[in-house]
Chains A and B, each alone.
Chain A
């Protein structure tokens, strides 16, 4: 059913935060789960992680990056307008335990996905280290929020404008080399980043969870669009995931599958930009 937009604001270059009316989703959502939305009647169905929810107010918050037509269209919607469809919560919630020393790693807009999980890890009693990465300091997300929940915070920027000049993987590498105790890692970000993290933790055998952003249509396990190879087996990111054991994910296949509609995406984006006169 349609969902009313409470607010839709730019919070970083190309990154927006949208608050939507969704009382039932707000009530049922648990960290790690996502929603699927359609902006308009001819729109495609896309998955986005729920970053925050307010069961009292009956709202959910999403943070998204403008990459193609649908996210661009979404960013043009104003407070008071409605989205055509909103459904959720979908996917499995993150398996949260008191692992001991947990490291939550976010890259780019992936940080928005990690935040609710990091919060849940903290609430479960973990010692929480957060490694946050972005292109520049303007691209850093939820800084205030993560400062409040982390026991230790490491910021990285690609251009060195804030924190460590480098990638999140370099910070983790240092931690592993210094034989720091790490019981659990969750990493969400661009596929090359998740791959790098997974390779670092493979040798020391550190439990590592990643969240996959496969292309989806229905989100309830009936089409197989989002299928990934995990430990050589076929899994659906929408119902078996979206989180999986990072050491078992075939990232190469996943990256190939993410590119399947590249030409269509470029065409749709161009067409939309022309229509909007940008």
Chain B
């Protein structure tokens, strides 16, 4: 750091990183309401004042959608919360969502210069604060829409990639229609991420914002079944973005996985989040409420599943993960929330077999202890079984949250759309172009299960590439240079 920044840092030393007030663990495991309450305006301004206003801000390099972070933080410091929200929205259409689900500790906050000597600026909490402030104020600014270009773009999938692509293209004057297979829009935002992490009212508000801009939304349309990609082109679509996501659950392939009471995390979360099974019988979709629930996996989906099981009334909710805490891919905040809520972590543990009771429901699970050996293809140390360490775990529900692969429906019904062997659609990293003319793709359908913010970044890049194809104008120069960011 330069001398100037050193002096500033000394001054800032007096201000610790602000904490958002949160629901107490004992209370919050009984409800599905959001865990953090968010900053107060005073906290937000205090936190914003910690920013060093670096001449060469590193934080921006960590943001997959290139938000002007120092600028919006400066506006917050001045108490100009609405303007700060609008500043963020110049680059990111869904700040209320990102502020809640981005792994900031891997992105902007990881590179924060203040973070070298103290705790980094809470960029994520600040983003969330202004997004919520703007929504509550009702002062939602609709950006200027360019004159109509007469070009039609179809967006397949209303998850974060599709919503972002739609938001960019509509502003540029194109005719945009989103096709969604489920009966509600949002993709993982609505079926995967629980209410206590991302209230559905916020997702709905973001979708309404897009509709206010002119985006058309058709739900209950399964592209590939109800209508094919080629039929859409025949109907006059000029370009298409595929954002159909990683909706193909992975199972462990161990004996007993077909028993009643074994759920894929997708099914467990979809029943609960999308279909509101936690409100049965007020809502019709059922879900089994176990007393002892084991969730297999160490990512955000596993944390979401284990914490949901607790809220459904489990006496014990376990995380069973074959590696150690350091290798867990979940957001730090969510691991901490899970620990506070009393979820028991069985790390370096691998399930081997699930046992039934007489009625064919889960009764117990045999596991084995592991130790860490050499790194595998993902770069993480490979777990190796400890001989003779098998033990039986008393459980009645098992949730398999070990990952999702790209949903194969679109590749299977779109001739000429090339995929990797494991199913990911092959798309150019900078533009989203696929092997088919006029078809672009981004998000989990290309990368495999990743994050909301990466999907949004991909949606944005593809939108600009589509715009260039349709009009010749190249806006991609306004996008971050260099490689995509850490996950």
Contact = CB atoms under 8 A, between A and B. Distances in A.
B226 A222 contact: no
Contact of A44 (B219, B275, B359, B408): B275
A38 interface: yes
B360 interface: yes
B408 A1 contact: no
A25 B225 CA distance: 9
A261 B281 CA distance: 12
B377 interface: no
B343 to A, nearest CB: 23
B258 interface: yes
Interface string A260-272: 1100110110010
A217 B283 CA distance: 14
Contacts of B258: 227, 229, 234, 253, 257
Task: Determine which residue in B183, B249, B258, B261 has the highest number of CB atoms from chain A within 10 A of its CB, and name it.
Answer: B183
Interface in B260-294: 260-261, 263-264, 266-267, 270-271, 275-276, 280-286, 288
A223 to B, nearest CB: 4
B247 A221 contact: yes
Contact of A220 (B227, B271, B276, B409): B409
Interface in A222-278: 222-225, 227, 229, 234, 239, 253, 256-257, 259-261, 264-265, 267-268, 271
A217 B271 contact: yes
A89 B226 CA distance: 6
A222 B281 contact: no
A10 B247 CA distance: 38
B280 to A, nearest CB: 7
B324 to A, nearest CB: 28
B251 A234 contact: yes
Contact of A218 (B182, B218, B226, B227): B182
Interface in A24-43: 24-25, 28, 38, 42-43
A28 B413 CA distance: 13
Interface string A37-63: 010001111000000000000000000
Nearest to A260: B260
B208 interface: no
B267 A223 contact: yes
Interface in A97-111: none
Contact of B267 (A45, A220, A225, A234): A225
B270 A217 contact: yes
Interface string B196-222: 000000000000000000000011111
B271 A264 contact: no
B267 A42 contact: no
A165 to B, nearest CB: 34
B220 A223 contact: no
B372 interface: no
What's the interface size class on B, roughly?
Answer: 35 or more
Given A223-B267, A239-B409, A264 B219 contact: no
Interface in A194-225: 217-218, 220-225
Nearest to B257: A234
Interface stretch (A80-88, A121-129, A150-158): A80-88
B248 interface: yes
A194 to B, nearest CB: 18
B407 interface: yes
A88 B284 contact: no
A70 interface: yes
A90 B281 CA distance: 27
Contacts of B401: none
Task: Determine which residue in A24, A25, A44, A234 has the highest number of CB atoms from chain B within 10 A of its CB, and name it.
Answer: A44
Contacts of B257: 234
Contact of B266 (A70, A223, A265): A223
Contacts of A218: 181-182, 247, 270
Given A42-B276, A234-B258, A223 B264 contact: yes
B109 to A, nearest CB: 32
Contact of B219 (A1, A227, A256): A1
Contact of A264 (B221, B275, B280, B282): B280
A95 B359 CA distance: 36
B201 to A, nearest CB: 15
Contacts of A85: 183, 219-220
A69 interface: yes
Given A43-B284, A223-B267, A256-B359, 10 more contacts: A1-B220, A88-B226, A217-B285, A220-B407, A221-B247, A222-B247, A223-B264, A224-B264, A264-B286, A268-B284
Interface of A: 1, 24-25, 28, 38, 42-45, 69-70, 84-90, 217-218, 220-225, 227, 229, 234, 239, 253, 256-257, 259-261, 264-265, 267-268, 271
Among all A-B residue pairs, the 6 with the closest Cβ atoms? A222-B247, A264-B286, A223-B267, A256-B360, A87-B220, A44-B284
